[in-house]
Amino acid sequence: MTHTTMLDAFHTQVSERPDAVLFDLPDGRRISYAQTREIVQRVASTLREAGVVRGDRVAVQVEKSPEAIALYLAVLQRGAVFLPLNTAYTGAELDYFIDDARPRVLVCDPSAATDHAHRAQGDQLVVETLGTTGDGSLLEGSDRDADAEPVDASDPAAILYTSGTTGRSKGAVLTHANLTSNAQALVEEWRFTGEDRLIHALPIFHVHGLFVAVNMTLMTGATLLYLPRFDADRVIDLLPRASVLMGVPTFYTRLLEHPELTAERCAHMRLFVSGSAPLLARDHEAFAERTGHAILERYGMTETGMNASNPYVGQRKPGTVGPPLPGVEIKVADGETGAELPVGEVGSVEVRGPNVFSGYWQMPEKTASEFREDGFFITGDLGSLDEQGYLSISGRTKDLVISGGLNVYPKEIEILLDEHPQVLESAVIGVPHPDFGETLVAVVVPASGEQPEEGAVREFLSGRLAKFKQPRAVRVVDALPRNVMGKVQKAELRTRYADLFVGTDG
């Protein structure tokens, strides 16, 4: 069945299986589809009273809870635009998002209400709260709104910020059609049904945890075995009563370190999915050996949702992300001209389809520069297609580090480091890390006569940057390696520091 919005898809499940469990929680609570709709209606009423109308942005920085998913659906019910923010972002980072997106409402944790009180501006920006124990101003009202604001499939449903190579974050605007079409394609491709029980241990402020895991569940009437965060012990405990796990490669690295990961424990599982960062072929093989399951690796990004997936039935090739999903076109092209390259050649990975976002929020020029004239989006990834149409991601043209599935753009950190009075210039690189896949190292050149210390530099960054963006090591050098054009040779730095974390536990 086709749905205009994810709210419509959810409503279909509420009518067809009102008593089915949507949230199965660690404390034993179970929340059904019909009960979730009640919460959605209550939150929608509060949002209406706060003045939220079609097209308004609702920015959300809250801990993971069932109510936070109800909030996402309530925002859609108002015809508004959901803007989730990583809970790790600092006040300084939030200033930028609020200023850029101009939300009507900011929803924060009750414990952060005083920190954000200064942001409230009459009915221009209303601060509401939502906690993890059914607390918060969003849930205080007793009214229920049953009616959904009518919207078009091409209207924005969400804005997700992704950092940029210039250091300035861009808001990727995703439409209802982007979300529904992608969830539908994944449901079909991975044979997802209402019988599925998905271990949900991802954060819900990114595409993977929200628009893959949650949307597929809402679309099919499945159940979320809903954990507040990834915890290997808890995931191991849940495996016997689950059918699917979706995670970033770090989940699998950590599960492989767990002595109780056995084939017996995974006997009822039908699918393990990995994505958001490259899964080492070595880990894929080790997992298959231990459990008998071939992890299904897929490839996506904030701007496009999911693009490619190894097949559910058929060969899952380690080190590849599989063929394009149904309805999605993938081209490997010459980065300069956009001309398609022959099979096997590495080039710019470009994507076209109903999953591709409508553009960056209020950045028409930036948007235009990342699309070809024929509508292909330039992902910034490098890869090649094989004879069977399987895509392998082999690198990136964008200067990006992916740590534990979270993207960090070095430029953002370099800009801050260069503001340090003892630093002349800096380069931030990603190096291999046994747990996070990659981690950040800052290489700094002292200002004349200065001798910056690692601790002081790290201290300078803390409070200004979310924890996951903070370098795990700082190295002071006399000069950065440059090529004849004067461009910093990051590849050389990556080689120099490649072993910094090898064989450590971080």
Q: Which residues bind ligand MLC (CB under 6 A)?
A: 202-203, 206-209, 229-230, 248, 250, 275-276, 300-302, 403-406, 436, 467-468
404 binds, among ligand AMP, ligand MLC, none (CB under 5 to 8 A by kind): ligand MLC
50-63 residues labelled b (16+ CB within 10 A) or e (exposed)? bebeeebbbbbbbb
Question: Considering only CA atoms, which of 431, 425, 400 is closest in space to residue 496?
Answer: 431
CB 70 to ligand AMP: min, Å: 24
| Tokens representing residue 338 in the block | 């956009």
| Structural contact between residues 78 and 70, judged by C-beta atoms closer than 8 angstroms | no
Residue 72, contacted partner among ligand AMP, ligand MLC, none, CB below 5-8 A by kind? none
168 CB-contact burial (10 Å; exposed 0-12 / middle 13-18 / buried 19+): middle
Which does residue 381 bind out of ligand AMP, ligand MLC, none, counting CB within 5 to 8 angstroms by kind?
ligand AMP
Judged by CB, which is closer to ligand MLC: 33, or 501? 501
Answer with the entry of ligand MLC, ligand AMP, none that 199 interacts with (C-beta below 5 to 8 A by kind): none
Write down how long the chain is: 506
- Taking the least distance from each CB to ligand AMP, the nearer of 79 and 353 is 353
Residue 324 binds which of ligand MLC, ligand AMP, none (CB < 5-8 A, kind-dependent): none
Nearest to 189, CA basis, from 214, 216, 209: 216
When the beta carbons of 66 and 404 are compared against ligand AMP, the nearer one is 404
Alpha-carbon dihedral angle through residues 458, 254, 309, 166, given to the nearest 10 degrees: 0
Least Cβ distance, residue 481 to ligand MLC (angstroms): 26
Give the nearer residue to ligand MLC in terms of CB position, either 202 or 431: 202
* Smallest separation, CB 466 to ligand MLC (Å): 8
Considering the complex, state which of residue 66 and residue 430 has its C-beta at the smaller distance from ligand MLC: 430
Token pair recorded at residue 441: 């190292």
Closest CA to 467 of 86, 63, 165: 86
| Cβ closest to ligand MLC, residue 6 vs residue 202 | 202
Contact 33, 9 (CB under 8 A): no
Residues at the site binding ligand AMP, with contacts judged by CB under 6 A: 162, 207, 275-278, 297, 299-302, 321, 379, 381, 393, 396, 402, 407
Q: Tell me which of ligand AMP, ligand MLC, none is bound by residue 437, counting a contact when its beta carbon lies within the kind-specific cut-off of 5 to 8 angstroms.
A: none
Closest CA to 5 of 146, 150, 153: 153
Are 428 and 442 within 8 A, CB to CB?
A: yes
Long-range interactions of 330-334: CB distance < 8 A, separation 24+ = 330/385, 330/391, 331/376, 332/383, 332/384, 332/385, 332/391, 333/376
Q: How far is the CB of 218 from ligand AMP (least distance, A)?
A: 20
- Residue number with CB closer to ligand AMP (144 or 168): 168
Q: What's the min distance (Å) between Cβ of 56 and ligand AMP? A: 24
At its nearest, how many Å lie between ligand AMP and the CB of residue 304? 8
Cα separation, 177 vs 22, whole angstroms: 23
Q: How far is the CB of 473 from ligand MLC (least distance, A)?
A: 13
Min dist CB 467 to ligand MLC, Å, is 4
Q: Where are the strands (E) in 238-328, listed by range? A: 244-247, 271-274, 296-301, 305-309
Nearest approach, Cβ of 286 to ligand AMP (angstroms)? 17
DSSP labels for 64-114? Answer: --HHHHHHHHHHHHTT-EEEE--TT--HHHHHHHHHHH--SEEEE-GGGHH
By beta-carbon proximity to ligand MLC, the closer residue of 247 and 452 is 247
Selection from ligand AMP, ligand MLC, none that 436 binds (CB < 5 to 8 A by kind) is: ligand MLC
Instruction: Please state, in angstroms and as integers, the Cα–Cα distance from residue 291 to each residue in 149, 236, 306, 412, 434, following that order.
Output: 47, 12, 26, 40, 21
Is the CB of 79 or the CB of 324 nearer to ligand AMP? 324
Residue 208: CB minimum distance to ligand MLC, A: 4
- 465's contact among ligand AMP, ligand MLC, none, with CB below 5 to 8 A by partner kind, is none
Q: CB-wise, 141 or 164, nearer to ligand AMP?
A: 164
Beta strand extents in 189-328 (DSSP E only): 197-200, 223-226, 244-247, 271-274, 296-301, 305-309
Query: Which residue's Cβ lies closest to ligand MLC?
Result: 404
From the list ligand MLC, ligand AMP, none, which binds 482 (C-beta under 5 to 8 Å, kind-based)? none
203's contact among ligand MLC, ligand AMP, none, with CB below 5 to 8 A by partner kind, is ligand MLC
| Alpha-carbon span 156 to 164, nearest angstrom | 21
- Pick what 219 binds: ligand AMP, ligand MLC, none; C-beta below 5 to 8 Å, kind-dependent: none
CA 397/CA 348 separation, integer angstroms: 8
Tell the smallest beta-carbon distance from residue 413 to ligand AMP (Å): 16
The continuous run of DSSP H or E covering 46 comes out as helix 33-49
Region class of 137: left (phi > 0), else alpha (psi between -120 and 50), else beta: alpha
